[in-house]
Amino acid sequence: MADVNTPVEAYGQLDQSQRTQLAQTFLDEMKKEDHASYERYAHVDLDTVTAEQLADMHNHAAAHHKNAFGLVMDHPIMTAALAGFAVYELDRHLGKR
């Protein structure tokens, strides 16, 4: 898929409230799975989370927290606003489901 966005580009297409909701989901799930990962991102201000910060959470979760990653990629925001990106990322990191 040549037209698939990078995580930063994809999250940059979302408005602030959408980025906030996704970041909150990443943080909530990381806190359940691994407190050290949660602490890595706990300083992020959810009201002003940037596309770059969200992409960093995305990449970390894809590598270390498959459940959190899957939940965010299946989040209604992702399926509505960035469906193609979410499907590509799920397949790339988790394999066909």
- Which pTM does this prediction carry? 0.82
pLDDT band at 3 (very low <50, low <70, confident <90, very high): low
CA–CA gap between residue 86 and residue 69 (Å, rounded): 10
Report the greatest alpha carbon distance in the chain. Answer: 36
Task: Extract the tokens encoding 48.
Answer: 């002003």
pLDDT in tens, 18-43: 999 999 999 999 999 888 889 999 99
pLDDT in tens, 41-85: 999 999 999 999 999 999 999 999 999 999 988 888 887 777 777
